[in-house]
Chains A and B, each alone.
Chain A
Amino acid sequence: MKYLLISLLFIAGCSTTVPVIQKFPNATPELMKKCESLKKIEGDKVAITDMLKVVVHNYSLYYECSTKVDGWQDWYNAQKKIYDGIAK
């Protein structure tokens, strides 16, 4: 008992950690969607208009995907700004 009390006295100054947990921010659901694969031209005898339609569709897919990349950049910059605000 005596030794226990002495050892308790010795470790009385030991620190305890007080956790402040910051959750990793969730990404916007729209950003988590994968970019669609580009469309291929089907058939052997294809009119130039049909080919053009596929090309236009693929351009749309490109811009949809590029919007997501821009979104990720916005998301990162915004989260970094918020995180830096806490660290100050």
Chain B
Amino acid sequence: MWILSILPEAAIHIIFGLGILGTIAGFVLGFIPFVKTYKLAIQVISLLVLVLGVYLEGGLADYKEWELRVKEMEAKVAKAEAESTNKNVEIQEKIVEKTKVVREKGRDIIKYVDKWNTKEIIKEVEGPERIRREEVIKYIENCPVPKEFIDLHNQAAELNKAAEAKK
């Protein structure tokens, strides 16, 4: 009820009170000379004011109930927003940590592969294992990957582009 937002609460109680007083005056205090003179007018006006007062009082009660619910909802929303922010921080930390581990492990493996390129890998062992590793290094140096396989790898690495082109 928009009228409740412009009408002060006290005014509603006053309207209701006037309605009650007027009704009592019009129907019970008929013996008073002034009331007796305007009895009908007082009765009609008082009843109208009373009806309006009851209506506005009902509206006010309903308005207050809704206001309470709105406050409850606002509190819930504020709590949810805080929870959401906390959860975001938690998720952010989890992703950053996981990504860091993946990158570090990937770098470690690449470093290990580089040891084959720099022949550092053969210094780590002795005996037959060293001979085996030397053979592997010879293979690495003398047998490049066929260009066809490289092209196939590169095509596979760009599969997403094919899917985007089809859009």
Whether B150 sits at the interface, judged by CB under 8 Å, is yes
Known: A28-B95, A47-B141. A38 touches B157 (CB 8 A): yes
Report the Cα distance A15→B59, complex, angstroms: 10
Known: A15-B1, A30-B92, A30-B96. A44 touches B140 (CB 8 A): no
Q: Give a binary string over B132-160; 1 marks a CB under 8 Å from any A CB, 0 the rest.
A: 00000001110111010110011001101
Chain B residue numbers with a CB within 8 Å of A52 are 113
Q: Give a binary string over A60-88; 1 marks a CB under 8 Å from any B CB, 0 the rest.
A: 10011001100100110011001101100
Whether B44 sits at the interface, judged by CB under 8 Å, is no
Report the Cα distance A12→B160, complex, angstroms: 62
* Minimum Cβ distance to chain A for residue B121 (Å): 10
Chain A residue numbers with a CB within 8 Å of B106 are 56-57, 59-60
Chain B residue numbers with a CB within 8 Å of A57 are 106, 110
Report the Cα distance A34→B150, complex, angstroms: 26
Report the Cα distance A56→B104, complex, angstroms: 12
Q: Give a binary string over B6-23; 1 marks a CB under 8 Å from any A CB, 0 the rest.
A: 000000000000000000
What total of chain A residues lie within 8 Å of the partner, measured CB to CB? 56
Chain B residue numbers with a CB within 8 Å of A49 are 113-114, 116-117, 140
Whether B123 sits at the interface, judged by CB under 8 Å, is no
Q: Give a binary string over B65-97; 1 marks a CB under 8 Å from any A CB, 0 the rest.
A: 011001001101100110110011001101110
Chain B residue numbers with a CB within 8 Å of A15 are 1-2
* Minimum Cβ distance to chain B for residue A87 (Å): 9
Whether B125 sits at the interface, judged by CB under 8 Å, is no
- Once A and B bind, how many residue pairs between them come within 8 Å at the CB atom? 142
Whether B32 sits at the interface, judged by CB under 8 Å, is no
| Smallest CB gap from A43: residue in B | B150
B residues in contact (CB < 8 Å) with A:
1-3, 5, 52, 55-56, 59, 66-67, 70, 73-74, 76-77, 80-81, 83-84, 87-88, 91-92, 94-96, 98-99, 102-103, 105-106, 109-110, 113-114, 116-117, 139-141, 143-145, 147, 149-150, 153-154, 157-158, 160
